[in-house]
Amino acid sequence: MLRFFPPIARGALLAVLVAGAAACGTSGRDLRAPDANAVSPTRSTSSTSTTLTLPSIGASLKLTSPAFASGGTIPAEYSCTGPSPALAWSGVPADTKELVLIVTDPTADEFVHWAVTGIPPTDGSVAKGAVPAGGTQLLNSSGRLGWTGPCPPTGSLHDYQFTLLALPAPSAIAPNTPIKDAVAQLRAKGTDRLSVLTGSFQLGGSAGTGTAPTGTGTAPRSPGSATSTKGTTK
């Protein structure tokens, strides 16, 4: 084919063909040794991490009283032989089978002032001096059925805990179970399903306290069993 071109043209054409052949010898994707001074480009990436924190099942449960704020002073009206304070509760977990109310005095070796089982598992309230509807009262540490008000020795400040438990199963406390054992069993069933309302009380000796409705002194504190009666009020 080159014979049809003049000598000079044939030389130029040969040079072009040789250059083209050299160019076609690679696809441009051949592996080559990296340059020693080459720097790899930085790839922009983004990542996120999410920490899932599961709240306690009883986190929404809340027990309150219109008579006193949590951490405040319990009015003298409710001490010794006085009535139980009004209470209200909300945020009961959906899988709750039974509510239990327990009032204790940690200052006096967990003396039990009130224990009520069998409360329906719904938001609700109880009036002053009344028993929660459907509830069953147990004998308290004084050996009395129902509520025994705060009545510490004169001048001694005691703290009281009103605990509401949202049990995932019926309480099933056996008859004649000593009250402290009954309370321990109930608490074990609702370890992370509770709300605590606290209050303090002192008979005489300082501002913010008062005199018991009928006399002063310490209420009888004999141990009692868990015999129960429905709907009984003090």
Q: What is the chain's pLDDT, residue by residue, as a tens digit (234 residues)? A: 444 444 444 444 444 444 444 444 444 444 455 555 554 444 444 333 333 333 445 569 999 999 999 999 999 999 999 999 999 999 999 999 999 999 999 999 999 999 999 999 999 999 999 999 999 999 999 999 999 999 999 999 999 999 999 999 999 998 889 999 999 999 999 888 999 999 999 998 543 455 555 444 444 443 333 444 444 333
Going from N- to C-terminal start, the domains of the chain cover: 62-230
> Which residues, listed in sequence order, are joined to residue 73 by a DSSP beta bridge?
200
pTM over cut 0.75 = no
Superfamily of 62-230 according to CATH? PEBP-like (3.90.280.10)
CA distances in angstroms from 80 to 32, 37, 113, 157, 181, listed in the order given: 94, 89, 10, 14, 24
Task: Identify the CA nearest to 88 among candidates 49, 59, 130.
Answer: 130
Report whether 137 contacts 84 (CB < 8 A).
no
- Would you say the C-alpha torsion 59, 61, 63, 66 has a positive or negative sign? positive
